[in-house]
């Protein structure tokens, strides 16, 4: 098998085969109908073949094509079941599997980056990859000090491939749109393209991962593996053994689903407050459920190649807007949306209509615990996607400021994963604990110092 296809003409031809293939199967389906098969049977076969080709092409290309497939995979729970079924298995494969690069290529990269004596750094090294992703693959090994490690090796030419793929996919975005009805694919591809340079930089990834590892070192709920060694195109971290979240989605118990969902929400909301960084790639392949003697399960978090740097944590405006929306303060919510650029100056909307648009979306924050289901997210997607609905017409007039783009995608992706899990989550509890602005200022003051027996003359130190 050849290395990652790098020639633009080769990759473009493979990507071009996707829409052509879709059209060809439509003709094939028509022939089947004429031959007597029912529309339902033909439709199922057609969708299955489309899903198979989608995985084959995106998986072989890796690079930006596979990154696009991974991004789509977390949204499959929003699809109507008759469409989602055939795509689910194919898209899930993209989260953790792809055809591997040859062993000789892996050895060449390690020799070039670590040194010709690279094997002396390991007591053991497994040539067969444990996982393959969009820009690199992971090998299990034992470091020279006895620690089990994950060795991530970047595909040669990955940067060139990523940019080429995403440029080509942008051209085909209109044809790929039906994969996720109601979603504008082009901004998703543009945002992925903007993150390419950061994800290719394993030095930045190592810094982000180590910052999380140190902050969560003694955390009872979350485990982040420490960075062991990093050099250009190679990143070595501690190995984490656990159940991939994709397996929990497929076969997990309800206890595992609920625990995974709660910890996922806790990690993603607490991370920016604790590290100033937002893990911005929350697809199931990046998480593991780990047995824990005390609480039953912990969440293992992998892959910090895509992060949003938020030195002050998540913007207070998000918490303020969410709190005011829950309180029914339509005028204040609308004023904030205008101030932050969600409503352009040239647009004039009815504040009450905006509130009606937002309230169903934030239903999980209205109650103490909420069960995320595929049915719920499908109803939300249908409400916004139906051209006849007021929500669709209003949604088209709203804007997404660049500063909020990645936060928005992470939020949608997280909700998608929670719905895939079918998890019951105490989301409001996590928002109260970690989202700035969600609690009004007076709610943050739990005790009055004077009522607590302090005299006016007491100093702050004495208090």
Per-position pLDDT tens, the chain of length 463: 445 544 554 555 555 555 444 434 443 333 443 444 444 444 445 555 555 555 555 555 555 555 555 555 555 555 555 555 555 555 555 544 456 778 999 999 999 999 999 999 999 999 999 987 667 889 999 999 999 999 999 988 777 766 666 666 665 555 455 444 444 556 666 666 666 677 788 999 999 999 999 999 999 999 999 999 999 899 999 999 999 998 999 999 999 999 999 999 999 999 999 999 999 888 888 999 999 877 689 999 999 988 989 998 999 999 999 999 999 999 999 999 999 999 988 899 999 999 999 999 999 999 999 999 988 988 888 888 777 888 888 988 888 787 887 898 889 889 989 999 999 999 999 999 999 999 976 454 444 444 444 333 443 333 3
- Phi-psi region for residue 115, left (φ > 0), alpha (ψ -120 to 50) or beta? left
How far is the C-alpha of 325 from the C-alpha of 316, rounded, in Å? 14
How far is the C-alpha of 131 from the C-alpha of 94, rounded, in Å? 11
How far is the C-alpha of 2 from the C-alpha of 360, rounded, in Å? 49
pLDDT at 115: 94
Q: What tens digit of pLDDT does each residue of 159-200 get? A: 776 666 666 666 555 545 544 444 455 666 666 666 667 778
How far is the C-alpha of 110 from the C-alpha of 391, rounded, in Å? 53
Q: Among 363, 387, 395, 377, which Cα is nearest to 78's?
A: 377
pLDDT at 461: 37
Tokens of 148: 């089990």
pLDDT at 65: 53
Q: Are 207 and 250 in contact (CB under 8 A)?
A: no
Q: Among 27, 25, 29, which Cα is nearest to 51's?
A: 25
CA dihedral (305, 240, 284, 96) positive or negative: positive
pLDDT at 173: 55
pLDDT at 388: 82
pLDDT at 441: 64
Q: Are 310 and 278 in contact (CB under 8 A)?
A: yes
CA dihedral (79, 81, 85, 88) positive or negative: positive
pLDDT at 248: 97
Q: Among 62, 54, 65, which Cα is nearest to 91's?
A: 54
pLDDT at 126: 97
Question: 386 φ, ψ to 5°?
Answer: -70, 115
How far is the C-alpha of 194 from the C-alpha of 200, rounded, in Å? 12
* pTM recorded for the entire structure: 0.75
Tokens of 347: 């647009």
Q: Among 442, 421, 420, 418, which Cα is nearest to 430's?
A: 418
How far is the C-alpha of 424 from the C-alpha of 259, rounded, in Å? 9
């Amino acid at each position: 098998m050849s290395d990652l296809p790098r020639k633009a003409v080769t990759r473009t031809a493979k990507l071009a085969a996707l829409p052509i293939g879709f059209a060809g199967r439509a003709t094939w389906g028509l022939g089947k109908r004429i031959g007597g098969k029912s529309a339902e049977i033909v439709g199922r076969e057609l969708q299955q073949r489309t899903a198979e080709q989608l995985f084959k092409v995106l998986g072989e290309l890796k690079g930006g094509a596979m990154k696009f497939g991974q991004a789509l995979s977390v949204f499959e729970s929003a699809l109507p079941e008759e469409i989602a079924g055939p795509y689910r298995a194919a898209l899930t494969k993209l989260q953790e599997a792809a055809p591997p690069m040859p062993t000789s290529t892996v050895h060449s990269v390690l020799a070039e980056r670590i040194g010709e004596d690279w094997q002396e750094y390991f007591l053991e090294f497994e040539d067969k990859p444990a996982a393959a992703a969009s820009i690199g693959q992971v090998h299990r090994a034992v470091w020279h000090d006895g620690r089990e490690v994950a060795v991530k090796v970047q595909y040669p030419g990955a940067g060139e491939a990523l940019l080429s793929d995403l440029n080509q996919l942008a051209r085909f975005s209109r044809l790929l749109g039906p994969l996720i009805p109601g979603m504008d694919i082009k901004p998703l591809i543009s945002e992925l393209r903007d993150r390419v340079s950061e994800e290719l930089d394993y030095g930045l990834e190592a810094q982000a991962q180590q910052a999380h590892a140190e902050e969560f070192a003694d955390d009872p709920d979350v485990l982040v593996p420490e960075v062991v060694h990093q050099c250009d195109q190679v990143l070595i971290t501690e190995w984490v053994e656990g159940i991939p979240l994709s397996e929990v989605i497929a076969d997990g118990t309800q206890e595992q689903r609920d625990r995974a969902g709660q910890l996922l929400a806790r990690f993603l909301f607490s991370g920016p407050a604790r590290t100033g960084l937002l893990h911005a790639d929350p697809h199931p392949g990046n998480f593991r459920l780990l047995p824990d003697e005390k609480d039953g399960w912990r969440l293992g978090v992998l892959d910090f190649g895509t992060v949003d740097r938020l030195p002050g944590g998540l913007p207070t405006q998000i918490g303020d807007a969410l709190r005011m929306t829950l309180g029914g303060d339509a005028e204040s919510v609308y004023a904030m949306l205008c101030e932050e650029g969600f409503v352009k100056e040239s647009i004039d909307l009815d504040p009450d209509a905006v509130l009606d648009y937002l309230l169903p979306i934030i239903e999980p924050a209205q109650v103490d615990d909420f069960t995320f289901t595929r049915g719920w997210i499908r109803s939300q997607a249908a409400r916004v996607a139906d051209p006849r609905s007021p929500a669709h017409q209003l949604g088209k007039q709203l804007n997404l400021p660049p500063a909020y783009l990645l936060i928005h995608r992470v939020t949608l992706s997280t909700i998608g994963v929670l719905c895939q899990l079918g998890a019951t989550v105490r989301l409001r509890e996590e928002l109260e604990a970690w989202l700035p602005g969600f609690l009004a200022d007076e709610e943050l003051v739990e005790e009055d110092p004077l009522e607590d027996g302090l005299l006016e003359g007491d100093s702050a130190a004495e208090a």
